[in-house]
Amino acid sequence: MKNIYLNIYKPNYVNVKKAKKNINNNNIIAMPTETVYGLAGNAYSNKAIKKIFYLKKRPNFNPLIIHFKSLKDLKKDAIINDSFLKLYKNFCPGPITFVLNKNPKSNISNLATANKNTIAVRFPKHKITKKLLKILNVPLAAPSANISSKLSPTCAADVIDEFGDKIKFVLDGGVCKIGLESTIVDLTGKPILLRHGSITAEEINKVLNKKIKIGKKLKKIKSPGQLKSHYYPGIPVFMNKRGPLINGAFITFGKKNKNTKNIFNLSKKGILKKFANNLYSTMRKIKKRGYTSISVRKIPDYGIGSAINERLKKASYKWKM
Ligand code: TXA
Ligand code: MG
């Protein structure tokens, strides 16, 4: 049998150049970022974008994030404003995505932006991703490298586990430093937080000098990623639990629980960033080991805890008890 893990390429210059070649041929590659792995393609090419939607089984109304290397490049495709500049100066490159108005002169594929007049943009911080963007002449459309509504991959092997042989080129950037998708802020009007992430609402408020609206309180869903069910690990997930169900596993942090066969303590010191960083990989591990459910302890709802809770709420949506 063919070893599908052979499609994983070490992060050296030769392979970054191979990645470039793939992108220029409108092939899709998987690439690391500091948040999660992305399925990347030439953002100017309808052909490449169609492949991304097909591979991910993503509904065509759900737009992709476009990854840029510089402000200069961004301006060709998006209209920037003061709030954007403030946040950009403080957090970029880094794990934050901005929804801006699309520049009417932009050449970004309308399929990538789902025919909207807005565009989600991000400046990734991962060394290898930056190297790749630097040698490319095009921005990269890159959603998380998972089948739609499933868990995002946080290492190269997870991408292969998700897509098997369908992805021919995975650039290996190691384990993602953050492990949760970027924070998303809509800056097309009054700033709105559309997705929590490791850059927190509190940090954004400080920079903008005002309180950002939280998207979930809005009546209208602005981002299809705000759909209720998402981040599904393949078995039921339960929040705010004190232990595992029968044949299930338990994910926790803090001093109370030791690591055992089915108890996964992700940070004995109670560091939520560490918990967040290992959450998806642990959920994948639990599913692989044959447990039939995942129970998770209560997570405080501030800082990165809000991002964790947002993901868990969606992962557990179908099994509310
Ligand atoms: O950390 C991340 O952001 C990763 C890495 C690979 O960069 N990417 C990622 O992409 O999480 P994706 O496609 O899995 O999530 C992007 C979210 C979706 O919920 C989508 O609906 C939203 O961004 N989005 C994209 N364009 C938008 C737009 N114009 N307005 C509102 N939401 C938008
Ligand atoms: Mg995603």
- How sure is the predictor about 221, in pLDDT bands with cuts at 50, 70 and 90? very low
> What is the atom index within ligand 1 of the atom nearest the CA of 181?
1
Mean pLDDT (whole number) for 236-252: 97
Mean pLDDT (whole number) for 256-283: 97
Determine the Cα–Cα distance for residues 161 and 153; give it in Å rounded to an integer.
9
Q: Residue 202 corresponds to which tokens in the numbers above?
A: 């509190």
The CATH 3.90.870.10 portion of the chain extends over 8-214
- CB of 144 closer than 6 angstroms to any ligand 1 atom: yes
- Ligand 1 center to 142 CA (angstroms): 8
How many residues in total does the chain contain?
Answer: 321
DSSP assignment, residue 92?
A: -
- How sure is the predictor about 229, in pLDDT bands with cuts at 50, 70 and 90? confident
Cβ proximity of 132 and 31 under 8 Å: yes
- List 118's β-bridge partners, or say none: 101
pLDDT of residue 211: 95
- CB of 141 closer than 6 angstroms to any ligand 1 atom: no
- How sure is the predictor about 46, in pLDDT bands with cuts at 50, 70 and 90? very high
- CB of 172 closer than 6 angstroms to any ligand 1 atom: no
Residue 92: CA atoms inside 13 Å, Cβ hemisphere, count?
19
Whether pLDDT at 202 is above 60: yes
In this prediction the pTM is 0.95
Whether pLDDT at 36 is above 50: yes
Residue with the larger pLDDT of the pair 204 and 5: 204
Strand, helix or coil for residue 41: strand
CATH number for region 237-319:
3.40.50.11030
In percent, how much of the chain has pLDDT > 70? 94
Mean pLDDT (whole number) for 264-276: 97
CB contact set of 114 (below 8 Å; sequence gap of 6+): 60, 61, 62, 63
Containing 273, the helix (H) or strand (E) segment is helix 272-288
Cβ proximity of 191 and 208 under 8 Å: yes
Q: Residue 172 corresponds to which tokens in the numbers above?
A: 């290996």
Residue 139: CA atoms inside 13 Å, Cβ hemisphere, count?
30
The type of residue at 5 is Y
Whether pLDDT at 228 is above 90: no
In Å, what is the CA distance from 181 to each residue of 78, 97, 169, 262?
Answer: 22, 10, 21, 26
- How sure is the predictor about 230, in pLDDT bands with cuts at 50, 70 and 90? confident
Which among 130, 150, 176, 181 is the best mutation to test ligand 1's pocket, defined by most ligand atoms within 8 Å of the CB?
A: 181
Q: What is the mean pLDDT of the chain?
A: 94
The CATH 3.40.50.11030 portion of the chain extends over 237-319
> What is the atom index within ligand 1 of the atom nearest the CA of 35?
1
Angle of helix 272-288 versus helix 156-163 axis, rounded to 10? 40
Q: Residue 46 corresponds to which tokens in the numbers above?
A: 């309808």
- CB of 222 closer than 6 angstroms to any ligand 1 atom: yes
- CB of 204 closer than 6 angstroms to any ligand 1 atom: no
The region, left, alpha or beta by phi > 0 then psi within -120 to 50, assigned to residue 232 is beta
- CB of 296 closer than 6 angstroms to any ligand 1 atom: no
Whether pLDDT at 68 is above 80: yes
- For residue 21, give the nearest of 168, 175, 174 by alpha carbon: 168
- How sure is the predictor about 140, in pLDDT bands with cuts at 50, 70 and 90? very high
- CB of 38 closer than 6 angstroms to any ligand 1 atom: yes
Mean pLDDT (whole number) for 193-197: 97
DSSP assignment, residue 267?
A: -
pLDDT of residue 219: 45
CATH architecture of 8-214: Alpha-Beta Complex (3.90)
Mean pLDDT (whole number) for 48-72: 97
Determine the Cα–Cα distance for residues 178 and 304; give it in Å rounded to an integer.
10
- Ligand 1 center to 194 CA (angstroms): 10
- Ligand 2 center to 321 CA (angstroms): 25
Q: Which phi and psi angles does 41 have, rounded to 5°?
A: -150, 165
- Ligand 1 center to 101 CA (angstroms): 15
Using a CB cutoff of 5 Å, list residues around ligand 2, an ion. Answer: 144
